[in-house]
Structure 1
Amino acid sequence: MSILLQVLVFFLILLSTALVVGIPVVLASPGQWERLKNVIYSGSAAWSALVIIIGVFNSFVK
């Protein structure tokens, strides 16, 4: 069970890094926001869902 938690946290770290780097790049590039805003919103929703899943899953791991 703890290996699954570690994998989830690893994916959270990867997604967080991608969003921290990607969002400012998209916002600074002219015209890219309109093209990639659905990707940014989807990544943010996935990040939020992953945080909630990790929190719930963590309550079951000792």
Structure 2
Amino acid sequence: MTIVIQLLVLAFVVLSTILVVGIPVTLASPGQWEKSKNLIYTSMGIWVGLVLVTGILNSFVV
């Protein structure tokens, strides 16, 4: 179970890093928001899901 939590946290950190870099670049680039907004919204949904799943699974670890 600890390995699963560690992998979820790793995925969370990697996705957070990608979003921290990717969202400002997308917003600063002309015309990119219209092309990339679905991808960004999906990535943000996955980010929220990782937070929730990691928190729920972490409550089972003693």
TM range (shorter): over 0.9
Give the % identical residues: 56
Structure 2 distance, partners of 1:36, 1:46, is 15
Structure 2 distance, partners of 1:61, 1:2, is 7
How many matched pairs?
Answer: 62
Instruction: Give the counterpart letter for 1:44 in structure 2.
Output: M
Unaligned runs of 5+ in 1: none
What's the Cα RMSD here?
0.3
Structure 2 distance, partners of 1:9, 1:2, is 11
Unaligned runs of 5+ in 2: none
List structure 1 segments (4+ residues) > 6 angstroms apart after TM superposition. none
